[in-house]
């Protein structure tokens, strides 16, 4: 199993966002593609929570 996670900043309680998938489906560049997207979504969640 491969898992990537990021913190969702400025939340009232510790919050994270993650994706998990079998290693057989995770190619060499998955982290390079997935982690930036997770950071973008985490920022959107943080901004929406602050609104």
Eight-state DSSP code of residue 18: E
Tokens standing for residue 43: 């920022």
Query: Nearest-5° angle of CA 10, CA 15, CA 19?
Result: 125
Domain boundaries, the chain: 2-50
pLDDT at 28: 87
Cβ pair 13, 3 in contact under 8 A: no
Chain segment 1-51, per-residue pLDDT in tens: 999 999 999 999 999 999 999 999 989 899 999 999 999 999 999 999 998
Residue 8 CB neighbour total at 10 angstroms: 19
pLDDT at 12: 93
């Amino acid at each position: 199993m491969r898992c990537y996670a990021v913190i969702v900043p400025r939340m009232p309680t510790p919050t994270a966002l993650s994706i998990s998938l079998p290693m057989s489906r995770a190619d060499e560049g998955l982290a390079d593609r997935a982690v930036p997207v997770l950071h973008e979504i985490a920022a959107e969640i943080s901004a929406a929570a602050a609104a």
